[in-house]
Structure 1
């Protein structure tokens, strides 16, 4: 049972009290179920929606495993790039402690980057030094192999630098990454990349702790996120979902068998995509952000820091459509800015991010809404479910708080 939800499913009384139309929310669930789960496009889905931190809706549909196990409301998912906001929060906690600043050169902590060059010829020097803010907002010049646009992307793929679980140590990851050129000089463009993985290594080096320990002691423990981490423990293995992959032929196949995979801990802890979590835990993380950095007496960040994180930090106030050079990210580009760890709408101010297995969250600080959507289908670009989900929730608002 999700914390604070009187009944499993749609709490119609709570929805009405929160200024939401329960009939429209019910219609949205029916649409998502019919269009994606019953049709077989998605193996399953879990949707959690709250307003003013009060859960209004918590539904689970479909099968957690290929063998037919029904999805549970405490199911565990590979949240992939929804790890990035967690890593960004950990870094901003260090900023508040005075251990680092947004304009600190990355080479102050990652000296291996001192000889990075730009372009596949690996000759041109960057026009300016890479700063920590570039890692947070993906303007570093780094890339992902999955972008599949340039020879540099191909070299990332060859080295396996995108993978969530790698046998490298953090130092080996940085050493291998430092052998490759940048796509562009830091600050010139936006490109979804391994920047947050590098940020995770920065956090490790500044604290002298591995990322798992930092997250557990400074974020998950204080927030009561007992089911989130880099390692799937044996006593929780029965809650782990399978993950499916959609092939070019449109056929869905199992890409990772939940408990049998073990979601093992390798030597490198990916700050960009390595966490396993559940809807209830991530809702607590989102509540902390909505409340300006505090939850149940545990303050992680100051309100002004959270405000800074959810404000557009792209150079010149641009949007992703004008600055992006990559083909793939977990957001649309038009009218979308990027803060310190997640995308944000330039018109409405909501902020959000997702993972490559099609997980997704968004926070609307004006309407006081939090949405958590969990499923396990790769790639996340397969279907427009995220946009349909957010539009359906917006259409269900009866009492708006804007204006």
Structure 2
């Protein structure tokens, strides 16, 4: 299914995008997908494949997907709402609301024992969490390489998209018992900062994270199919999640909405994406269009223009990015999302911002082109590098620009 209605994108180019997306499904790269391209008031949609490898239910625009780390920009937006209301301040320590993170210790070396530490040079701030410079996060080395890595695994603090088996208070207490890898503010480390930010938002707002997101973001933007769980009558619209068997290369089932895990809130409401939010392509497009419109939506504002501009500016120095090029690619990091700084192929553009989700989702906004692209699939990524279908989507989108 494809809709071709203008917006400065050529019908021929959009038809090529449809064919390339359909080809990814036909080759078995993904079971199904929904792709939306928005430009100048026009939305173009492709939905192809099935919600399950062994099923016959076609993917549609209303299919619900797990979006994993696409949760992160939404969490950052929620934090900026509280910053604008002066309930949080970017450079204030988080100690008052997160006493578990006060008086941090920092490892002398990443490969050292957990008790070989020095005092933190300063407290962790809200800005550190938004820019992923907490000093602790995902460590991309073979499992068990470092003592801190083993401790993170043994305590269940970071279990990827499955999420920890603890509620927020216990999770942050366990995290606070571990030393940092880097001094606060010194280096970008993936993921954990967003989960800490989710706990901070809930405490600053005085209500659970899901309630705050629903009231301040989802309901205003009409994101009626977005949340941490689903009503029972929506479960049949949710796609089965798959991953790659690294030994055989086969697509294997990761989790299934019929297993009963999605009709109730998870134990841990993750601001980072483990387990993260579930949504539709159109719901997420509504969120991205709000950012494209610099905080404005049809009913008013979620954020001010200056807040969105601050969110979507690269805040990292070269030293803070070092060693993370495989993640950050042609750019840097704003608040909860990546920001492209150069064009090094046809799938990127300076100033474009957004992110990808490890379970097979991607969404970016290009203010200079007035463009949003959302691509939702249900196959998890098997490496930090985005799969070919993501790159092909953006290559064909940019190639369709006809003005």
Superposed pair shares fold, TM > 0.5: yes
In 1: Cα distance, 2:146 partner to 2:392 partner: 32
1:110-259 alignment, distance < 5 Å? 110-119=98-107, 120-122=113-115, 123-144=117-138, 148=142, 150-163=146-159, 164-249=162-247, 250-259=249-258
In 1: Cα distance, 2:19 partner to 2:146 partner: 42
Of the three residues 28, 42, 45, the one matched with 2:33 is 45
After superposition, give the CA deviation of every residue in 1:147-172 in whole Å (9 maximum; x if it has no partner). 64643223222222224443312110
Q: Name the counterpart of 2:13.
A: 24
1:257-272 alignment, distance < 5 Å? 257-263=256-262, 264-272=264-272
Preserved CA contact (<8 Å) 1:143 1:192: yes
Of the three residues 362, 370, 378, the one matched with 1:368 is 370
Q: Secondary structure of the residue that 2:194 maps to in structure 1?
A: helix
Shift of 1:72: 2.2
Q: Name the counterpart of 2:65.
A: 77
Of the three residues 336, 339, 342, the one matched with 1:344 is 339
Preserved CA contact (<8 Å) 2:244 2:382: no
In 1: Cα distance, 2:41 partner to 2:364 partner: 13
1:314-353 alignment, distance < 5 Å? 314-315=316-317, 318=318, 323-325=321-323, 331-333=327-329, 335-347=330-342, 348-353=350-355
Shift of 1:313: 1.1
Q: Secondary structure of the residue that 2:119 maps to in structure 1?
A: coil
After superposition, give the CA deviation of every residue in 1:281-301 in whole Å (9 maximum; x if it has no partner). 001111111111121123111
Q: Kindly tell me: are residues 352 and 20 of structure 1, through their superposed partners in 2, closer, same or farther at Cα, counting changes over 3 Å? A: same
In 2: Cα distance, 1:134 partner to 1:374 partner: 29
Deviates more, 1:62-71 or 1:216-225: 62-71
Structure 1 unaligned spans of 5+ = 1-7
Structure 2 unaligned spans of 5+ = 108-112, 343-349
Deviates more, 1:342-351 or 1:154-163: 154-163
In 2: Cα distance, 1:24 partner to 1:292 partner: 28
Preserved CA contact (<8 Å) 2:135 2:189: yes
Shift of 1:266: 2.6
Q: Secondary structure of the residue that 2:80 maps to in structure 1?
A: helix
Q: CA RMSD in A?
A: 1.9
After superposition, give the CA deviation of every residue in 1:128-149 in whole Å (9 maximum; x if it has no partner). 3221111111111111266646
Q: Name the counterpart of 1:59.
A: 46
In 2: Cα distance, 1:100 partner to 1:257 partner: 38
In 2: Cα distance, 1:258 partner to 1:152 partner: 34
Q: Name the counterpart of 1:4.
A: none
Q: Name the counterpart of 2:300.
A: 298
In 2: Cα distance, 1:332 partner to 1:138 partner: 12
In 1: Cα distance, 2:238 partner to 2:156 partner: 25
In 1: Cα distance, 2:220 partner to 2:322 partner: 36
Preserved CA contact (<8 Å) 1:237 1:258: yes
In 2: Cα distance, 1:78 partner to 1:228 partner: 10
Shift of 1:208: 0.9
Shift of 1:380: 5.6
Q: Kindly tell me: are residues 300 and 83 of structure 1, through their superposed partners in 2, closer, same or farther at Cα, counting changes over 3 Å? A: same
Of the three residues 258, 277, 282, the one matched with 1:275 is 277
Q: Kindly tell me: are residues 380 and 356 of structure 1, through their superposed partners in 2, closer, same or farther at Cα, counting changes over 3 Å? A: farther
Shift of 1:97: 0.4
In 1: Cα distance, 2:355 partner to 2:278 partner: 16
In 1: Cα distance, 2:235 partner to 2:268 partner: 21
In 1: Cα distance, 2:341 partner to 2:401 partner: 20
Q: Name the counterpart of 1:33.
A: 22
In 1: Cα distance, 2:9 partner to 2:364 partner: 17
Q: Secondary structure of the residue that 2:45 maps to in structure 1?
A: strand
After superposition, give the CA deviation of every residue in 1:359-402 in whole Å (9 maximum; x if it has no partner). 00000001000000000111263623222221221111121xxx
Q: Name the counterpart of 1:9.
A: 2
Preserved CA contact (<8 Å) 1:145 1:161: no
Deviates more, 1:261-270 or 1:366-375: 261-270
Of the three residues 383, 397, 400, the one matched with 2:401 is 397
